[in-house]
Amino acid sequence: MKVLDHEPYRWFLLEDSGDLLLDVNCHHSFVSYNVLIQLTPDEMQEYQRHGRDYLNGLSEDIHNSAPILKVSKSIYKGRDISSLHKERVIEAIRTWRS
């Protein structure tokens, strides 16, 4: 896993065996958390067309949908794979920063 791109305080784009993962920093009031999703083929196509602008919009959609809330009806809620890759994401970011 490696970092491909980054928007400070918003997201990291990572590549893992050909898959693209978006790690989004979300914060609501005093609560901060990350949501990690694997980009779908449609999202990958939009990213190829529009680049970072697309990722900025997607990360904003994820953030605004508040997927961490129990009452949230976020379409991203069921796509969060943070628990499966947390340590690998942290290590990839740590390597990228060094």
**Which pLDDT belongs to residue 29?**
80
Residue 76 burial (CB count, 10 A): 19
The per-residue b/e assignment along 61-71, b for 16 or more CB within 10 angstroms, e otherwise, is ebbebbbbeee
Is the separation of the CB atoms in 55 and 63 below 8 Å?
no
Tens digits of residue pLDDT in 69-86: 888 899 998 999 999 999
Domain of residue 48, residue span: 2-97
SS3 content of the chain, % helix, strand, coil (to 5): 45, 30, 25
Tell me the pTM.
0.93
The total domain count for the chain is: 1
Tens digits of residue pLDDT in 9-65: 999 999 999 999 999 999 988 889 999 999 999 999 999 999 999 999 999 999 999
**Which pLDDT belongs to residue 71?**
87
